[in-house]
Amino acid sequence: MNPTNDPSLTSWVTSAQGSDFPIQNLPWGIFSTEGDERRRAGVRIGDRVLDVDALQEAGLLDPVLPKGVFATGTLDAFIGLGRETWSAVRARLSELLRADVTRLAEDAVARTRALVPIEAAVMHLAVSVGGYTDFYSSREHATNVGRMFRPNDEPLLPNWLAIPIGYNGRASTVVVSGTPVRRPLGQMKAPTAPAPTFGPCRKLDFELEMAAVVGVANPMGAVMTVAEADRAIFGWALLDDWSARDIQAWEYVPLGPFQAKVFASSIGAWIVTAEALEPFRVAGPVQEPEPLPYLRHPAAMNLDVELEVAIRPKGAAEATVIARTNFAHMYWSTAQQLAHHAIGGCAMNIGDIIGSGTISGPTPDSLGSLLELSWNGTRPISLADGSSRTFLEDGDTVIFTGRATRGGLSIGFGVCEGEILPAHVREGW
């Protein structure tokens, strides 16, 4: 076992014990504060953000972390230092936070500078997202969609069991959790209508996903094995790949999603490292037929992460949990997705995002989209305030949470949330 994952470890930061952010987690993010608008690296511990820049200035990370590595206000340069550095820095941070190590705990000045209350932290995108690819890798989700839209045919197309299906998304609209999401405009056409209409999306949906952050660049023309792809992942965050279902239904043939997906993808502020998630690796579903050799798993590469979706209407006192599922259900793993993406010679860069695709499970309450939960609007979902939903309304806030749990230990991802704002409509449109 990696010593930083030892479940017996405790921290002198008392709020860490029993939280989603114990000493065994230490996820990375980028934050600022009202009194200091510099974007700087932080690691979450309990109800505090550990200011890594402050630790560097105090000399507490010498020599494992070079000075100035966070000068760009992102994690890009740090991630680019490679796995050995990620691991060494994690080990040093774990040591400084351990209950039996007093170096930081008893230095009142350094401790006060380094520990920021989470409510005082303004979170930002942790990496410069140069590329974003979204996959379609839940067998349950793909089967449900196929049954809805191709009721007289096999729900899975012939290629789905042979390759991880994906498309290149719009990286410029990947935004950090908490950023409001504007309802998109677009063309829509009802099945029986003679012509399309234009206006605000009427079937706005969320997609419950996980985002893998690429940590090792893969040059153009190069390829990687599934094992190499697995080791190229820095960590994972929650992801909501918002979807305009009615716009997508009209545009997606023959080239797939376009305007239905470009308006926003929300990512959680905290990246939980691959190292922290090592104890939660599990085997995925049996893949039959067996994939071609370049896609075969050398080991268990799925992750046992419990996920939850809630909706809070505007003005409502509470959110209603409408779905619970698990990342372990995914038919194609992140490592397979990344290996397949690179196999044609595509360059993968540090900070690129690999979206898992909608994560749906086998039961009616484990579906990762309103499209499935409401069965394309035919089964309204009741909320705690007495209202119901088939798709999202203006003012709704969608909240994702996730955690990996085992033996009383919880490794959390925080939240990924966004409020729906009304569409921008111009006179005459």
From the CB of residue 272, how many other CB atoms can be counted at a distance below 10 Å? 32
The answer to whether residue 349 sits within a structural domain is yes
Q: Are residues 210 and 96 in the same domain?
A: no
Residue 351 lies in a domain: yes
According to DSSP, the residues that pair with 199 across neighbouring strands are 186
Pairing label, strands 208-214, 204-205: unpaired
Q: Which of 84, 108, 124 is the last residue of a domain?
A: 124
Q: Specify whether 285 is located in the same domain as 155.
A: yes
| Same domain membership, residue 140 and residue 13 | no
192 and 109 share one domain:
no
Q: pLDDT tens, 61-105?
A: 999 999 999 999 999 999 999 999 999 999 999 999 999 999 999
- Picking from 222, 247, 399, 241, the residue whose alpha carbon sits closest to that of residue 316 is 399
Domain limit, last residue, from 98, 124, 150 = 124
In this structure, is residue 224 part of a structural domain?
A: yes
**Per-residue CA distances from 212 to 228, 270, 274, 299 (Å):** 14, 12, 9, 18
Asked whether residue 72 falls in the same domain as residue 214, the answer is no
In DSSP terms, 382 is beta-bridged to 388
| Pair (289, 415) in one structural domain | yes
| CATH for 113 | 2.30.30.230
Give the domain CATH number at 347.
3.90.850.10
Range of the domain at 301: 132-421
Could you tell me if 144 and 76 lie in one domain? Answer: no
The per-residue pLDDT for 357 is 98
Give the pLDDT score at 24: 98
The H-or-E segment that residue 31 falls in is: strand 28-33
Half-sphere exposure at residue 16, Cβ-oriented, CA atoms within 13 angstroms: 26
Task: Give me the tens of pLDDT residue by residue for the chain, a chain 429 residues long.
Answer: 799 999 999 999 999 999 999 999 999 999 999 989 999 999 999 999 999 999 999 999 999 999 999 999 999 999 999 999 999 999 999 999 999 999 999 999 999 999 999 999 999 999 999 999 999 999 999 999 999 989 999 999 999 999 999 999 999 999 999 999 999 999 999 989 999 999 999 999 999 999 999 999 999 999 999 999 999 999 999 999 999 999 999 999 999 899 999 999 999 999 999 999 999 999 999 999 999 999 999 999 999 999 999 999 999 999 999 999 999 999 999 999 999 999 999 999 999 999 999 999 999 999 999 999 999 999 999 999 999 999 999 999 999 999 999 999 999 999 999 999 999 998 888
Q: Does a structural domain hold residue 427?
A: no
Question: φ and ψ at 168, to 5 degrees?
Answer: -85, 120
Strand partners, 28: 43, 271
What pLDDT does residue 146 have? 94
How high is the pLDDT of residue 20? Answer: 98
Residue 35 has a pLDDT of: 87
* Length of the chain, in residues: 429
Contact (Cβ atoms closer than 8 angstroms) between residue 291 and residue 309: no
Phi and psi torsions of 270, nearest 5°: -110, 130
* Among the listed residues 230, 235, 429, 215, the one whose alpha carbon sits nearest the alpha carbon of residue 339: 230
Confidence (pLDDT) at 69? 95
295 plus 176 within the same structural domain: yes
Q: Is residue 429 part of a domain?
A: no
- Are 268 and 414 a contacting pair, CB within 8 Å? yes
Based on the fold, state whether residues 84 and 136 are members of the same structural domain.
no
Q: Is residue 165 part of a domain?
A: yes
pTM of the model: 0.97
pLDDT in tens, 163-211: 999 999 999 999 999 999 999 999 999 989 999 999 999 999 999 999 9
Could you tell me if 367 and 408 lie in one domain?
Answer: yes
39: Cβ contacts below 8 Å, ≥ 6 apart: 30, 31, 32, 73, 74, 124
Has residue 426 been placed in a domain?
no
- Report the C-alpha gap between 426 and 264 in whole angstroms: 20
Pair 117, 155 in one domain: no
Give SS3 for 101.
coil
User: Of the residues 124, 152, 169, which one is the last residue of a structural domain?
Assistant: 124
pLDDT score at 427: 86
Q: Are residues 272 and 364 in the same domain?
A: yes
Asked if residue 394 lies in contact with residue 180, where contact means CB atoms within 8 angstroms, the answer is no
Q: Is residue 239 part of a domain?
A: yes
Q: Hey, which residues are catalytic here?
A: 141
The domain total for the chain is 2
Using CA atoms, how far apart are residues 307 and 141, in angstroms rounded to an integer? 15
